[in-house]
Amino acid sequence: MAQKETVERILDAAEVLFAERGFAETSLRTITSAAGVNLAAVNYHFGSKKSLIQAVFVRFLDPLVDEIERQLNQLQAEKERLTVEDLLQVLTSSVYEIHGRGSNRATSFMRLLGLAYTQSQAHLRKFIGERYGNAFQHYASHLKPALPGATAADLFWHTHFALGTAIFTMSNFDALRAMSENDTGERTPVDFIVSRLTAFMAAGLHNAAHE
């Protein structure tokens, strides 16, 4: 019980701090002092900083991929062929379902996902690829029938274009919203941004089938 509490406190603090600053820029000293635990606790419970980083990802990715899988199966039971819009909807509603609509954790999560791609943490990309590669392949396999004209190369590239759009937007979410507020004088609601984002991605993806 005391153990579990310490582990959870470390994960909570690490998740927020990593999302704010990145991995290399967040020291174990910062994490442990924010969590109110001893510096040695991270190495005791997780073994290393790398393992801690991986544990942060497991804690939010495991439930998320389960939820995505669940929604995919449910939707497939209702209709035989899923549309691009269906598939994008599954992603957003899964994130909402797991982390709560508009919560800080949802944006933290997207920012971490962005960092996983862009920061040089080879161990992390390897780990994520090994643990979640199958789930990603399964999700991507639904895109093929949804975009009938597309070749395999089209699918690969357009999928990653869309992934990039989402990851970039979400991982710079706060900075972009601040810029937008500065430009237009209005604070854009999260739902507006998400719906525009998915529309942008859907338009780009559909473009794959038309060439």
Partner DNA sequence: GTCTATAACGCGATAGAC
Partner DNA sequence: GTCTATCGCGTTATAGAC
Work out whether 121 is an interface residue with DNA (CB under 7 A). no
For DNA, the binding residue among 34, 50, 200, 202 (CB under 7 A) is 50
DSSP state of 100: -
Please say whether the dihedral angle defined by the alpha carbons of residues 23, 90, 137 and 197, taken in this order, is positive or negative: negative
CB 209 to a second copy: min, Å: 11
Give the ranges where 22-121 is alpha helix by DSSP (H).
28-35, 40-46, 49-78, 84-99, 104-118
For DNA, the binding residue among 43, 92, 119, 172 (CB under 7 A) is 43
Work out whether 45 is an interface residue with DNA (CB under 7 A). yes
Distance (Å, whole) CA 211 – CA 200:
18
Subset of 34-53 contacting a second copy (CB under 8 A): none
Cβ atoms of 68 and 94 closer than 8 Å: yes
144 Cα distance to chain centroid: 22
Work out whether 22 is an interface residue with a second copy (CB under 8 A). yes
What does the binding site for a second copy look like in residue numbers (CB under 8 A)?
21-22, 24-25, 114-115, 117-120, 125, 152-154, 156-158, 160-165, 167-169, 171-172, 175-176, 179-180, 183-184, 186, 188, 192-193, 196-197, 199-204, 206-208, 211
